[in-house]
């Protein structure tokens, strides 16, 4: 059983479609449930390419289902869904490098939410120079400073390190909820992660450990 006081690690990549549903509601869920959430940005595209796991490329039927599913779930949460946004986004790595900076400096939640509002509600790429200059300034940040830092090699190396850490944990998609070494993949698995944390979800032993 998990320690009910430990945080839930929220592994996410800006650029993941279903992650929109998580980032826009997570702060309210955390407050309501009394949870500590550790936001963990990583590069999901790098992992998916390495694993030859590109779920929607050249799969129009599956992609159409995904967009309709996100639209339905957004409506259920009371979240706007303005239409199908640009996909895949070009600046996935850059967007998540900025998320690392924002986490260090204490403004990760408003930044990630602003990126998803740009993407899903304004139907625009969230990591272009133009969008970042506007969105970062709105957050009270020196946009040119943040962009220059995000584009520096050392921050790129940090994102690669964070992605390697995700891989070692067994993370392969976004969003993933980690309670200790127990992983729950998908926006719809947040309740399971909370249940495991609090001991209300019965989880069998891992295969081979019985």
pLDDT at 210 > cutoff 60: no
- pLDDT interval class at 1 (50, 70, 90): low
Residue 200 in contact with residue 192, Cβ under 8 Å? Answer: no
Cβ atoms < 10 Å from Cβ of 154? 7
Average pLDDT over the chain, rounded to an integer: 94
* Alpha helix stretches (DSSP H) within 151-189: 153-169
pLDDT at 58 > cutoff 80: no
How many residues does this entry show for the chain? 210
Residue 199 in contact with residue 2, Cβ under 8 Å? Answer: yes
Structure tokens at 100: 């690392």
Structure tokens at 99: 């998320």
Residue with tokens 């964070």: 162
pLDDT in tens, 90-138: 999 999 999 999 999 999 999 999 999 999 999 999 999 999 999 999 9
**Could you give the domains of the chain?**
8-198 (3.40.30.10)
Structure tokens at 73: 């779930």
Structure tokens at 22: 């998580």
Q: Which residues contact 16 (CB under 8 A, 6 or more apart)?
A: 44, 173, 174, 175
Structure tokens at 38: 């550790």
């Amino acid at each position: 059983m998990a320690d009910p006081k430990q945080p839930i690690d929220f592994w996410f990549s800006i650029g993941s479609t279903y992650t929109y549903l998580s980032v826009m509601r997570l702060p309210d869920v955390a407050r309501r449930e009394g949870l500590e959430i550790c936001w963990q940005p990583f590069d999901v595209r790098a992992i998916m390419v390495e694993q030859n796991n590109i779920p929607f490329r050249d799969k129009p039927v599956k992609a159409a289902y995904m967009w309709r599913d996100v639209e339905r779930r957004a409506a259920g949460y009371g979240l706007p869904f303005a239409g199908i946004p640009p996909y895949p986004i070009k600046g996935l790595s850059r967007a998540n490098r900025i998320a690392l900076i924002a986490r260090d400096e204490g403004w990760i939640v408003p930044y990630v939410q602003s990126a998803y509002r740009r993407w899903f509600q304004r139907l625009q790429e969230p990591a272009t120079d133009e969008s970042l200059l506007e969105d970062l300034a709105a957050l009270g940040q020196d946009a040119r400073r943040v962009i220059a830092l995000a584009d520096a090699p050392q921050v790129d190396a940090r994102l690669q390190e964070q992605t390697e850490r995700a891989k070692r944990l067994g993370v392969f998609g976004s969003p993933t909820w980690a309670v200790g070494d127990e992983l729950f993949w998908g926006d719809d698995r947040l309740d399971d992660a909370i249940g495991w944390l609090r001991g209300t979800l019965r989880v069998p032993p891992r295969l081979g450990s019985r």
